[in-house]
Every structure is written in C-alpha cells, then in structure tokens.
Amino acid sequence: MMPSNQGPPQPQMQYPMQGMHMMQPGMQPGMAHMMMPMGMMPGPMPAVAQPVQQQQQQPAAPVPVKAKGVKLKNAVLARKPKGGDEEDGKGGTPAPSPAAPERGPTSDRADEPEKAKAPISLKPLNQIFERTLMLRIWNAHKNQKHPQVQGLTTNARGVDQKSTPGAQGRKPRAMAQDDMRKTKRPEHEKMISRGENAYVVKKATDREEEIERRVRNLLNKITPTNLKTIVLQLAQVDLKTAQELDFVIRIIFEKALAEPHWCETYADMVYSLQTKYPKFPAEHEGDKAQTFTRVLLNTCQTEFENLPTSFEPTAEQIAKMSPEELDKLKIKERKEKEKAKANMKFIGNLFLRQLLAVKVIGQVVYELIGIKDSPPEEHKIECVCELLTAIGHCLDEQEHGKKLMLQFTARLMELKRSTSGDGKACFSKRVQFQIQDLLDLRGNGWQKKMLKETAKKLSDVRNDANVEARNKQRKGQDAYFSTQLAGAKPAYMEEVMAKAKQQQAQRKAEKPDWDVVYVKKLLSYYAEDRDLEQLRSMWDKGQPGEPEVKFAIETFLELGFNDRSKADVVADGIAELLKLRCLSWARVDEIFSPQFEQLQELQLDAPYCDLFVHALFAKLFQTFGRDFNKDLLSRVPREENTFFWRVLSGALKKLKDRHGADGVRRALDNVPQLQEALCAVGSCKGRSDVTKRLQDEGCL
C-alpha cells in the first residue's frame, strides 16, 4: 500500500543523450543542465506519466547538432510557458531547479496557475552562471536594445594622459595619489624620518644662482637629438651684463671638459649659440666688444695657459706623504690629465666649426712640443696627439694646414726616437705607441675604428645597427667596432660654408664704392634727418675695413677744417659714430692728434679750422663726459700758450651756447685732463683761477 499523501510513482523521463554534456569534475551541482545546447533544454515534468512503450512509439524530435564553428541561437530561453503540460515544439521550457521536490498530479495541477503567472528563473542555486551560457545569451541578443535604455548614452571615464594607452577605466593619477594619501598606514609601518644632513632643495638666493640652476638643468638634458630644443631654451636665458655672459660660458666649458664623450655635441651647441646672446661693451677702452665667441675662446686660452708644467710630485714630496695621500695625488693627477686632453679635444672641435683659425692651432702645437732647451713633458705630447687626432683630416685638406701637419709629424717622429745621454729613450713606451698610432692613422687616410658607445642620434643608431647586421654576415668583420673618418668636419658645415660663400659674393656685388662721394653722402643724409639708424645702416652697407675707416676719418677732418658750414655736422657725425662703435678712439686719436698739434700752422691754409675743433671738443665733452678719451688732450702743451687757451676756451664757450653754464661745469668735473690742460696753457694755479678766467671771458 502506498501512503495516501503520495501519488503514483513517476516514471523516469528519458531524454536523448545526443549533444548533452556530462558532469565535469569540479562542477557545482545543478550546473550539468546548463552545459546542454540551447535547443536541448528539457521542459517541465508532465503531470501524468505515460508508459514507456508509448513514448518509444512516438517519433523522437530531431536533435539539433551543433556545427563546428557555428553558435546556436535559442530564443526560447526568454519566452514564458503557455501553461499546461504541452511542451514547446522548439525544445520546451527550462527545467525546474533540481533541488525542487517531486510533486504528485494533484499538487502539480494546483500549482499550474501560479507557474503561469510567475516568471521562470534561470539562476542556479550557487548563484553562479556559467560563462558559456552567458556568452550565448549575449550573442543571441547583442543587436537588440531594451526599451528602458533607449536614449541613454555613456561617456568614457577620464584617464590620465600619462597612463599607458588603452587603460580606460583606470583612475587618473592625481585621484590615485589622493587615495594613497588618505589611506592610513598600518601601525607597524613607520615613516622613514629625514636625517639631520638630508639634502633639501632651497630657492635661489641671488640671480647668479638662479642662472646657474637653469643652465645646468638644460645641459643635463642635452643629447644630439634634442640639441635644437636645448639651444632655443638656453638662448632664452636673459643675460644683462658681460659678467653674466662669462659665468654662463664657464659653466658650459666646465661641462664640456667633464664629459669629453659629448664634446662634439657641446661644440655644435656653442656654434649655434654664438649669435643668440647680445654683445656687451668692452671693459677697457680700445678693446673689442664682449661677444659669446670671444669670451669662449678667451676661456679656452686661459685653461690652456694654466696647464701645469708637470703633474709628477717631487722626491721630497713623495717622502713626506703617506700612502693614502699618494693615492689621492695620483687620482688628482689623472683627473688633471684627462681635463687637459678634453680641452684639446674641445679646441679641435671648435676649429672644425671654423671658430678658430689654422694659425691658432699652429701656435698651440708649438707651445706644447716646440723646439726648446729641454724636451717637452709626456702629458704635452699626449695633448698634441689628442688635438691632431681630432682635426688631422681637416688640416690635410687645406694647403696651409697640410704644411703644418708635415711639420707636426716630423717633430713627433723626432721625439719618438730621441734618447738621453745613456742611450735610453726619453719617453715611455706608452707615449711612443701613442705617437705611432697617430702616424699610422694618417697613413691609413684617417680611417679610425670607433667604439659604438658614443653620443649619436637615434637615426644614426639605426643605421649603425643595419651596418652591424651586414657586417656579421661577412667574415673578418668586427661587429663591436665601426670605421669612422677621424678629424673630419661635421656634415652641416659644408652647407654653412657654401651658404657663407654665396652671401659673401652677394655682399661683394652689392657693396658700394667707399670713396669721397659715398662718405660725404653719408654725412649729408645724417645732416638732413639726424637719423642714427640710417647712419649705421649706410656705414654697415659699405662694409669698411681698417683702410676704409682710416680714409673716412681723414675725409671727415678735411671737410671740417676746410668748410666752415660743415663744422658742426662733421663734429656731430664723428661723435655719433664713436658712440655707435663704428669708429674707435684709438683710430681717431691716431689721425686727429698730429693735425691738432700743428693746428696753428694749419690755420694759415684753413683759417676756420679752429672753429671745427671748438665744435668737435664741445660735442665730445657733452656726449661722453667721464668716458672722454684723455689721449686727445695729450698733445696740448704743458706750458703757457695763448693759442691753445683760445682753442680750449672756445670749445667751452661753444658748449655753453648749447647746454648752458651747467654743461661747462660738468665738463670740468668729468674731464680732469681738461682742467689740467687749462691750468698749463693759461698759467692758472688751480680750479678757482681757471673758473675766474673763464667767467671773465664769458665761458661760464
């Protein structure tokens, strides 16, 4: 007898086994049916069981076979059952959860209305969906959009620009750092405390320190690739005095000597910077203006002149030193030698960029290994070998340089073979081999094996890699070295030289004839408009050299002495050209002083020459003040002379007419030589006598 609360036993349902997945090891219970193809999901258990024979007589539904590489779409999973016990022709509704208890026919029919109303849940008991099922559901509905999300849009989450590409969804770096700051550290992790002598970055205390930081920061970043960028940034450093220019150049020079493997890059940078910085007036009158190139060459010359005669300590010093002090001395000696050789290499690279003349190279080599009473020191021979290795090919290409190169090599051969009185060689084997290497290099056409670890651009590195790959395929080629032409000019210098020759030819074709007509035209244009820019432009257009400048001064003086109407114009023109540094005080004094000394005799042929001198001195006193060149008054006699008293007092009277009595007093205060000359030619005892006499004559 069966219990009354249970119905008849349910027959076991038989499903086709084709296409079904068996339980895999490690699977969660209830997940086996999730592995079936979408078309093979079983429907709900029927309320009334049918005999097995009838089920076998019914034609079995065709089992869909999944083709290889084809994903099946099953739209039945999203459909609700129509109710009853009928199975859907496309595979039926999903089976209930395996954990649901079996129910009899009565209870099953009673629950049918509730099943029809309630949605079917596909969520497994362990709350974990299988990845394959989710992918198939997504693939079946990927082109559909739910009505509730129509019109909604999304934006990409902000990502730090410095983060790696494709890192969408990652927090920006600033937000991540803020989160890290807010996160409390565990108690066992203690912050590292700052030491007493820890370095702390401080603000620059003065302008010099600020300039140094900025320049060193840029020099630390320099490479052959970013050279143009660094040059532009260095050119933006505002230099206001010649001392600041000298300070910047010393920083660059020290950096170049400390890193000789970057020597070519620093030389290229110097060549680009030579026109970027302004010119500053010379410290002493008569000297040339302080330019970037001139200050740099002076720095190199100073370093060369400070080269010590010997690095070796004397026997007495060695006896007094401890072993540690000797080691320190050897390290210092080695550094000094490397610095001297780096200076030679840098000088050679400046020569290759036409910043030094061949004559300078000859003087440097003569100072190092020239014929003298005693043989040169070994470190000087090493410096010569370093210099000639850097510029040898370029010297051999020039006619004058080739003659010098023959003299240099002959002298080096003589030093190599030289011996002392006891028959021993004067120099060590190391120096002899270094000389022989230089001679062999010249005999080989300056083809030198170079290490690849040198400063290069990325394009040059790629080209060298391609050459290395080809060399590895050949026998007898060394893959660790590359052949380079030693002492050759940079490639861009050929273009610079060609362009310079073209511009020189063009200027020569456009250059006007520097004659009396052109010089007088220059003065007449200035007299009409008083335009200093036009005066400077016409002067530069003529491109005057030393002979042309001398001819112009002589023309000015002749015009001023002989033409009374042009005296003021000529005086103003000379003063303005001195102010523009087109003329030098030394050249004006050289031509004017002899004529000023013989002015009394010159007055016989040019009666109004003294009026020109009045106008010239008055203009120079007013324009230059303390900067007036005292040499112009050196030809005034140091004894009583009425003629020269009239000349000087006439100049002061002219100055009073233009600028009043205050202008005369400023001239007497700012030009001490004027007061001395007036006392001498006027027989005055002091400033009071001079002032009284000038007042009596109406000059004050």
CA neighbor of 538 nearest in space, from 551, 555, 525, 554: 525
Share above pLDDT 70 across residues of the chain, in percent, rounded to a whole number: 73
Q: Could you tell me if 540 and 437 lie in one domain?
A: no
Q: Could you tell me if 408 and 537 lie in one domain?
A: no
Answer yes or no: is 621 within a domain: yes
CA 579 to each of CA 234, 255, 519, 585: distance values in angstroms, whole numbers, following the listed order: 30, 37, 18, 10
Whether the Cβ atoms of residue 300 and residue 250 lie closer than 8 Å to each other? no
CA–CA distance, 215 with 205 (Å, rounded to integer):
16
pLDDT at residue 271 in the model:
93
Whether the Cβ atoms of residue 584 and residue 627 lie closer than 8 Å to each other? no
Residue range(s) defining the domain that contains residue 571: 512-696
Whether the pLDDT of residue 157 is over 80: the answer is no
Exposure on the CB side of residue 77, measured as CA atoms within 13 A: 20
Answer yes or no: is 682 within a domain: yes
Query: Among 162-176, 240-254, 280-294, which is the least confidently predicted range?
Result: 162-176
pLDDT tier at 32, thresholds 50, 70, 90: very low
Say which residue, 312 or 642, is predicted with more confidence: 642
pLDDT tier at 112, thresholds 50, 70, 90: low
pLDDT at residue 534 in the model:
82
Q: Could you tell me if 573 and 679 lie in one domain?
A: yes
- Residues 552-581 have pLDDT tens digits of 888 888 888 888 888 888 888 888 888 888
358-369 and 323-352 helices, crossing angle to 10°: 150
Q: Total structural domains in the chain?
A: 2
Say which residue, 429 or 27, is predicted with more confidence: 429
pLDDT at residue 391 in the model:
92
CA neighbor of 62 nearest in space, from 82, 33, 39: 39
Say which residue, 18 or 609, is predicted with more confidence: 609
Query: Among 39-48, 547-556, 591-600, 687-696, which is the least confidently predicted range?
Result: 39-48
Whether the Cβ atoms of residue 345 and residue 257 lie closer than 8 Å to each other? no
Whether the Cβ atoms of residue 417 and residue 375 lie closer than 8 Å to each other? no
Q: Tell me, what DSSP letter sits at residue 185?
A: P
Which residues does 225 contact at the CB level (< 8 Å), separation at least 6? 457, 458
Does pTM surpass 0.95? no
Share above pLDDT 90 across residues of the chain, in percent, rounded to a whole number: 19
Q: Where are the alpha helices (DSSP H) in 370-510?
A: 378-397, 399-417, 429-443, 458-473, 491-510
pLDDT at residue 299 in the model:
92
Say which residue, 379 or 465, is predicted with more confidence: 379
Whether the Cβ atoms of residue 256 and residue 262 lie closer than 8 Å to each other? yes
pLDDT at residue 44 in the model:
44
Boundary (domain end) residue, out of 400, 417, 446:
446
- Residues 118-143 have pLDDT tens digits of 666 767 788 787 888 888 888 888 78
In which residue are the tokens 């087109």 written? 582
564 CB-contact burial (10 Å; exposed 0-12 / middle 13-18 / buried 19+): middle
CA 126 to each of CA 33, 97, 102, 130: distance values in angstroms, whole numbers, following the listed order: 14, 11, 21, 11
- Residues 321-361 have pLDDT tens digits of 888 888 888 888 889 999 999 999 999 999 999 899 898 99
Answer yes or no: is 431 within a domain: yes
pLDDT tier at 249, thresholds 50, 70, 90: very high
pLDDT at residue 440 in the model:
92
Whether the pLDDT of residue 623 is over 90: the answer is no
Answer yes or no: is 470 within a domain: no
DSSP state string for 196-262: TT-------SSHHHHHHHHHHHHHTT--SSSHHHHHHHHHTS---SHHHHHHHHHHHHHHHHH-GGG
Q: Could you tell me if 273 and 358 lie in one domain?
A: yes
Query: Among 71-85, 465-479, 634-648, which is the least confidently predicted range?
Result: 71-85
Whether the pLDDT of residue 669 is over 50: the answer is yes
Query: Among 76-85, 329-338, 536-545, which is the least confidently predicted range?
Result: 76-85
Answer yes or no: is 25 within a domain: no
Which residues does 569 contact at the CB level (< 8 Å), separation at least 6? 523, 526, 527
pLDDT at residue 453 in the model:
54
Tokens representing 664 are: 């005369």
State how beta strands 447-451 and 481-485 pair: antiparallel
Say which residue, 348 or 514, is predicted with more confidence: 348
Q: Could you tell me if 562 and 641 lie in one domain?
A: yes
Answer yes or no: is 357 within a domain: yes
Q: Can you give the CATH number for the domain in which 363 is found?
A: 1.25.40.180
Q: Could you tell me if 413 and 524 lie in one domain?
A: no
Query: Among 146-150, 285-289, 494-498, 634-638, which is the least confidently predicted range?
Result: 285-289
Tokens representing 467 are: 């050459």
Which residues does 627 contact at the CB level (< 8 Å), separation at least 6? 285
CA neighbor of 616 nearest in space, from 642, 583, 662: 583
Q: Could you tell me if 409 and 530 lie in one domain?
A: no
Answer yes or no: is 140 within a domain: no
pLDDT tier at 478, thresholds 50, 70, 90: low
Q: Could you tell me if 261 and 382 lie in one domain?
A: yes
Whether the pLDDT of residue 77 is over 70: the answer is no
Answer yes or no: is 506 within a domain: no
In which residue are the tokens 């010098």 written? 404
Query: Among 153-157, 304-308, 397-401, 488-492, which is the least confidently predicted range?
Result: 153-157
Q: Which residues of 123-160 are buried (b: 16+ CB within 10 A; e: fewer)?
A: ebeeeeeeeebeebbeebeeeeeeeeeeeeeeeeeebe
CA neighbor of 210 nearest in space, from 244, 253, 179: 244
- Residues 491-501 have pLDDT tens digits of 788 788 777 77
Boundary (domain end) residue, out of 411, 446, 481:
446
Whether the pLDDT of residue 386 is over 80: the answer is yes
Whether the pLDDT of residue 656 is over 70: the answer is yes
Residues 218-245 have a mean pLDDT of: 91
